[in-house]
Amino acid sequence: MSYLSTLTPAYAEIFLLVMTSLILIADLFVTHPSKTPTYLLVQFTLLGCALITVFTHEPGVIYIFNNQFVDDLMSDVLKLVSYLAISMALVYSRRYLILRELFTGEFMVLTLFALLGMMVMISASHFITLYIGLELLSLSLYAMVALQRDSAIASESAMKYFILGALASGLLLYGMSMLYGATSTLEVTGIADAIRQGVDNKSLLAFGLVFVVAGLAFKLGAVPFHMWVPDVYHGAPTAMTMMIGSAPKLAAFAFVMRILVDGLQPLVVQWSGMLAILAILSMAVGNITAIAQTNLKRMLAYSTIAHMGFLLLGILSGGIDGYSSAMFYAVIYVLMSLGGFGMIMLLSREGFEADMLNDFKGLNQRSPWLAFIMLILMFSMAGVPPTAGFYAKLSVLQAAVGAGYTPLAVIAVLFSLIGAFYYLRIVKLMYFDAPETHVPISIQPDSGLLISINGLAVLVLGILPGTLISVCAVAVQKSLMLY
């Protein structure tokens, strides 16, 4: 009993693992293709996780499993947002996947395993735990992309995703092993202490840092390690794209925080310089290349790259302001990308993917409400007030200017100006152009309601962003208290 009670911070993960295994078996007995019982069970599991996370929360930073696993306010907040994102993604994808005969038990089990991976990444305080979480997440995602076996383009993108992802994992692992060689520990806090006390082999440390940063950049999709992003986003079924493009970004943010900010804090000068280059390149390549896209999923892929650049800008600015702005950015980004991909799935039909820009032509005439929601989402991605995206950008820029990176901030706003063009083009297509088709849009009540809430949340968070900003600030502050 006493051992079990020390595991309280990991109850959510344990519950999720148990439930996932149960669902894997229970699903065998669900024969109807709509898989409603399984689906409800999955949503129930997510709700259960959320309740457990809320009720097992304890103030302060708690380490368990011999310092391999950490529970703090930041991890709890990120986990809650992840549950929400996965739950929303499932609501959005349900009909889309049923129509494509992909709404299988495996899909849901893989989703839950991916979530488990994210949670482990979010709470890891040891390089091995971090790596296990990352691989659990990545392998689930590779498999999900490949679920659509009869589609050549999906298989191709699964292959690309797998090979490049494996390469990135290799880089990361290699970097970690070098850091281990330099500091003789794999514990995140231990590494920081060891570096502070002085490391004999400086070049080993430097190489380790470079490899780790490269591996992280791969996973985030930052330029020049971004090649996989557009192809995977484009090729995967939209529901899988949403799974890749939403909640895992939160885990990636936590990953960067744990490794760079917690573990390699003494090398902040070195890695913030690297992040600056990654950030600028990401914003440049992402925003400029997005202009040339005709496929919305591909465009959103490049926009993701640009957004990751902004997120990195927040992290490299450092301090409570910088980290909390990056966290706020990640949360808002997840909300926006869920809405964006959700909209694509909402407009798609059997045998028709609404993923070309031209499919949005004249949406205002076909459904003014959906057009309005998409308008909010696009202006939010462009960072125009009064939408949440503006405050995400504002807080990152404020952190950057506050940290003395004003030139970087100027570059960032100029690239986001370029970015505004392609978001505006969507608005232009929806409002200014005539529709190409008059096929009525059939909206399911659940996903229709959700997209409304999602869009309005972006607007409401744009009018009253104070609470969420404060939550992020407090979360980061609480979890960084040790340093």
Partner 1 sequence: MIFGFPLLSLSIWLPIIFGLLVLATGNDRNAPLARVVAMIGAILGFLVTIPLYLDFDKMTSAMQFVELSEWIPHFNVHYHLGVDGISVLFVILNSFFTPLVVIAGWKIIEKRVAQYLAGFLIMSGLVNGVFASLDAVLFYVFWEAMLIPMFIIIGVWGGPNRVYAAIKFFLYTFFGSVLMLIALLYLYVQSGGSFSILEYHRMPIPMTAQILIFVAFFMAFAVKVPMFPVHTWLPDAHVEAPTGGSVILAAIMLKVGAYGFIRFSMPIVPDASHYLAGWMIALSLIAVVYIGLVALTQTDMKKLVAYSSISHMGFVTLGFFIFNAYGMEGALVQMISHGFVSGALFLCIGVLYDRMHTRNIADYGGVASKMPMFSAFFVLFAMGNVGLPGTSGFVGEFMVIMGTVNVNFWYAFALASILIFGAAYTLWMVKRVVFGAVANPHVEALTDITFREKLLLGILALTVLGMGLYPLPFTEIMHTSVNDLLVHVARSKL
* Residue 114 or 363 with smaller CB distance to partner 1: 363
Separation CA 342–CA 241 (nearest Å): 10
* Residue 81 or 214 with smaller CB distance to partner 1: 81
What are the DSSP E strand ranges found in 78-121? none
Separation CA 448–CA 92 (nearest Å): 9
* Chain centroid, CA 361 distance in Å: 29
Separation CA 364–CA 430 (nearest Å): 6
Separation CA 265–CA 188 (nearest Å): 10
Q: Does position 401 bind partner 1 by CB under 8 A?
A: yes
Please, what is the minimum distance in Å from the beta carbon of residue 404 to partner 1? 9
Q: Does position 37 bind partner 1 by CB under 8 A?
A: no
Stretch that binds partner 1, among 16-24, 28-36, 350-358, 403-411 (CB under 8 A): 403-411
Q: Does position 427 bind partner 1 by CB under 8 A?
A: yes
Q: Does position 416 bind partner 1 by CB under 8 A?
A: yes
Contact with partner 1 (CB under 8 A) among 473, 475, 476, 480: 473
Q: Does position 456 bind partner 1 by CB under 8 A?
A: no
Please, what is the minimum distance in Å from the beta carbon of residue 77 to partner 1? 15
Please, what is the minimum distance in Å from the beta carbon of residue 401 to partner 1? 4
- 355-384 binders of partner 1 (CB under 8 A): 364, 368, 375, 379, 384
Q: Does position 319 bind partner 1 by CB under 8 A?
A: no
446, amino acid identity: D
Q: Does position 465 bind partner 1 by CB under 8 A?
A: yes
* Residue 88 or 427 with smaller CB distance to partner 1: 427
Phi, psi of 117 (to 5 degrees): -60, -45
Q: Does position 390 bind partner 1 by CB under 8 A?
A: yes
**How many residues can be counted in the chain?**
483
Stretch that binds partner 1, among 73-81, 100-108, 113-121, 458-466 (CB under 8 A): 458-466
Q: Does position 291 bind partner 1 by CB under 8 A?
A: no
* Residue 68 or 416 with smaller CB distance to partner 1: 416
**Cβ-Cβ contacts under 8 Å for 147 (sequence gap 6 or more):** 102, 104, 106, 107, 110, 154, 237, 240
68, amino acid identity: Q
Record the tokens describing residue 22, joined without a space. 């149960």
How buried is 292 (Cβ within 10 angstroms: 0-12 exposed, 13-18 middle, 19+ buried)?
Answer: exposed
Count of residues near partner 1 by CB under 8 A: 36
Q: Does position 109 bind partner 1 by CB under 8 A?
A: no
* Residue 386 or 435 with smaller CB distance to partner 1: 386
List Cα–Cα distances, 252 to 125, 359, 439, in angstroms.
14, 32, 39
Separation CA 304–CA 245 (nearest Å): 8
List Cα–Cα distances, 434 to 102, 366, 408, 429, 430, in angstroms.
33, 10, 40, 8, 8
Contact with partner 1 (CB under 8 A) among 413, 456, 481, 482: 413
Q: Does position 397 bind partner 1 by CB under 8 A?
A: yes
- 430-449 binders of partner 1 (CB under 8 A): 431-432
Contact with partner 1 (CB under 8 A) among 47, 414, 449, 482: 414
Please, what is the minimum distance in Å from the beta carbon of residue 53 to partner 1? 23
Helices (H) and strands (E) in the chain, counts: 21, 2
59: which DSSP letter? S
Q: Does position 409 bind partner 1 by CB under 8 A?
A: yes
Run of H or E including 63: strand 62-64
Please, what is the minimum distance in Å from the beta carbon of residue 318 to partner 1? 14
3-state SS class at 69? strand
Please, what is the minimum distance in Å from the beta carbon of residue 388 to partner 1? 12
* Residue 413 or 481 with smaller CB distance to partner 1: 413
Contact with partner 1 (CB under 8 A) among 15, 63, 65, 421: 421
Phi, psi of 70 (to 5 degrees): -125, 145
Phi, psi of 77 (to 5 degrees): -65, -45
DSSP for 432-452 reads HSPPS--PPPP--HHHHHHHH
Please, what is the minimum distance in Å from the beta carbon of residue 153 to partner 1? 32
Please, what is the minimum distance in Å from the beta carbon of residue 174 to partner 1? 39
3-state SS class at 356? strand
* Residue 184 or 406 with smaller CB distance to partner 1: 406
- In the complex, the residues that contact partner 1 under the rule CB under 8 A are 364, 368, 375, 379, 384-386, 390-391, 394-395, 397-398, 401-402, 406, 409-410, 413-414, 416-417, 420-421, 424-425, 427-428, 431-432, 464-466, 469-470, 473
